[in-house]
């Protein structure tokens, strides 16, 4: 039973969210920076051309025969027309006396000849960029300050800015999308080792409690250290409990044998029928218990040996014949005939003790669940890659519903009431098969009654 995992948040989502937020902020900053530069550049270029225009106008001012003359150069305004189709205004003052141009054009401050003034103001309902520049002239021995303003509406500039803004927005969006993609990839690669570790741990077999040996990034060293440590402790604890079970079973079996001997002796001596019956009942229970203790020991042994498999070349056919021979007397007790169908030797790599144990458990079960005078068939065949051992009986078969459950510890079929058993037999068979990289299949005999257990073990190539 696995406890529900208490889940909160996701590192991947959190990472992506953080990186995306960062990218969005950067994209917005990029947009405004580009727009700001563009605005500055557009303003500067308009200012420069206004400055060139006003300079050209002031340059033509001269005093001729005591009279101030001003000869507006054609280029002063046509250069503004080159920049855009914007409206142009101008005004020229001599010492605050209006000379020519647009008399209602706003005057911004008092410029010095060295430094013209720029400003954006509203005129005739439109935003205009205006420059105000000054020049000093000497007229009839008197210093005259000539100031000229040139102004231009900003439609062209705004159109340019809008175009640049659109480009900047596209740039920002592209930047954001690119960083979003990179954020996703970065986040994926950051949690990659975590996922690989999780996959490698969950891929392990139930018995595999080795420490994680694959290299991990520095950040994961504490986690993997803790995991390894935990598995160490688990291994020790498991070994201890197996040891404890084996020890306990062993300690119970010996006194049980003594109790059984005494009970049999007593059975010969008592004469009253009800006493003999209860003694037989007692012997049966003792048999049951000692058998369970034996299987617990077997299981402990199997568990130990599967961790330290001692493989050698063995002939599965000979092994089967030997086991059938050994259990022959037990079968004869119930008039069950056992047939060993082994046409040829089948050699595999395996642990003979474990395989014997498994086969004995299978045959034990077959004898136990077969009716009196039933048949049991053991056959060993070989295909190119596999050695197949099959045990068929003529018993009640397996209950269809819980075939997959039967290999679990202490699980017993639902149709075995009244027959003693520990529920460990098939567990042992399953563990042995797995230890040999084989497959166990439990089916019912399609022809007639009885169960059929097949062990498919890989044969050496």
Partner 1 sequence: MRYLGLALALLITPLSAAGFEVEDHARFGPSDAAQVVRVISTGDIPVFSPAIAKFLELNPDVAVDYTVASSTQLMLALNKEGAEFDVAISSAMDLQTKLANDGRTRRHQSAATETLPAWAKWRDNLFAFTQEPAAIVLSRSAFDGLDMPQTRQDLIAILRQHPERFRGRIGTYDLRASGLGYLFATQDARTSETFWRLTEVMGGLDARLYCCSSQMIDDVASGDLAVAYNVLGSYAKAREDLTRFEVVLPADFTTVMLRTALIPSASEQPELAGQFIDHLLEVAWSETPLESYPFTPINQNRGEADASLRRIRMGPGLLVYLDQFKKRSFLNEWESAILQP
Q: What residues make contact with partner 1 under the rule CB under 8 A? A: 69-78, 80-81, 85-89, 92, 99-102, 124-126
What torsion, rounded to 10 degrees, do the Cα atoms 209, 213, 218, 221 define?
Answer: 20
Least separation in angstroms between CB 83 and partner 1: 10
Q: Using alpha carbons, list the distances in angstroms from residue 429 to 302, 310, 359, 411.
A: 9, 17, 8, 13
> Please, which residue, 57 or 320, has the CB nearer to partner 1?
57
Q: For partner 1, which is the closer residue by CB, 89 or 369?
A: 89
Are residues 245 and 298 in contact, defined by beta-carbon separation less than 8 angstroms?
Answer: no
Q: Give Cβ neighbours of residue 86 (< 8 Å, ≥ 6 apart).
A: 80, 152, 153, 154, 155, 156, 157
Q: Which is nearer to partner 1, 155 or 379 (CB)?
A: 155
- Using the CB atoms, write b or e for 178-215: b if 16+ within 10 Å: ebbeebeeebeeeeebbeebeeeeeeeeeeebeebeee
Name the minimum Å distance from CB 145 to partner 1: 17
Nearer to partner 1, 74 or 418 (CB): 74
CB of 75 or CB of 261, closer to partner 1 = 75
CB 90 to partner 1: min, Å:
8
Question: Shortest distance, CB of residue 51 to partner 1, whole angstroms?
Answer: 16
Cβ distance to partner 1 smaller for residue 132 or 153 = 153
User: Minimum Å distance from CB 190 to partner 1?
Assistant: 56
Strand spans (E) along 373-460? 375-382, 386-392, 439-444, 451-458
CB of 85 to partner 1, least distance (A): 5
Partners of residue 341 on adjacent β-strands: 379
CB of 182 to partner 1, least distance (A): 44
Burial of 395 (0-12, 13-18, 19+ CB in 10 A): buried
* Distance in angstroms (rounded) separating the CA atoms of residues 46 and 173: 29
In sequence order, which ranges of 71-154 are alpha helices (DSSP H)? 74-83
Give the nearer residue to partner 1 in terms of CB position, either 69 or 195. 69
């Amino acid at each position: 039973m696995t406890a529900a995992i208490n889940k909160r948040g996701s590192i991947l989502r959190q990472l992506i969210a953080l990186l995306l937020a960062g990218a969005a902020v950067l994209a917005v900053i990029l947009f405004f920076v580009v727009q700001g530069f563009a605005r500055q550049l557009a303003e500067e270029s308009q200012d420069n051309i206004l400055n060139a225009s006003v300079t050209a106008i002031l340059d033509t001012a001269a005093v001729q025969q005591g009279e101030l003359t001003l000869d507006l150069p054609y280029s002063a305004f046509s250069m503004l027309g080159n920049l855009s189709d914007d409206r142009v205004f101008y005004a020229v003052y001599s010492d605050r006396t209006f000379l020519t141009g647009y008399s209602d054009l706003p005057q911004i401050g008092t410029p010095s000849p060295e430094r013209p003034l720029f400003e954006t103001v509203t005129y005739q309902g439109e935003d205009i960029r205006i420059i105000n520049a000054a020049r000093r002239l000497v007229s009839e021995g008197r210093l005259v300050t000539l100031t000229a303003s040139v102004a231009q509406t900003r439609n062209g500039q705004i159109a340019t800015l809008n175009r640049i803004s659109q480009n900047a927005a596209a740039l920002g969006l592209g930047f954001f999308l690119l960083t979003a993609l990179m954020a996703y990839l970065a986040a994926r690669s950051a949690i990659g080792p975590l996922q690989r570790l999780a996959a490698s741990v969950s891929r392990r077999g139930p018995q595999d409690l080795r420490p994680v040996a694959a290299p991990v990034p520095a950040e994961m060293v504490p986690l993997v250290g803790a995991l390894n440590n935990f598995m160490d402790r688990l291994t020790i604890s498991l070994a201890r409990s197996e040891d404890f079970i084996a020890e306990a079973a062993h300690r119970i079996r010996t006194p049980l044998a003594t109790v059984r001997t005494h009970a049999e002796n007593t059975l010969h001596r008592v004469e009253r029928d009800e006493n003999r019956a209860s003694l037989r009942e007692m012997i049966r229970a003792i048999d049951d218990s000692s058998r369970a203790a034996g299987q617990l020991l077997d299981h402990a042994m199997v568990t130990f040996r599967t961790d330290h498999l001692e493989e050698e070349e063995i002939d599965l056919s000979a092994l089967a014949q030997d086991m059938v021979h050994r259990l022959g007397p037990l079968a004869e007790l119930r008039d069950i005939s056992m047939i060993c169908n082994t046409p040829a030797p089948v050699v595999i790599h395996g642990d003979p003790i474990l395989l014997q144990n498994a086969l004995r458990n299978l045959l034990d079960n077959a004898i136990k669940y077969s009716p009196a005078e039933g048949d049991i068939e053991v056959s060993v065949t070989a295909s190119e890659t596999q050695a197949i051992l099959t045990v068929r009986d003529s018993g009640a078969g397996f209950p269809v519903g819980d075939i997959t459950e039967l290999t679990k510890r202490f699980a017993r079929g639902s149709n075995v009431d009244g027959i003693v058993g520990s529920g460990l037999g098939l567990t042992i068979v399953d563990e042995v098969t797995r230890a040999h990289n084989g497959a166990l299949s439990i089916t019912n005999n399609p022809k007639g009654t009885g169960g059929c257990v097949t062990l498919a073990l890989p044969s050496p190539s």
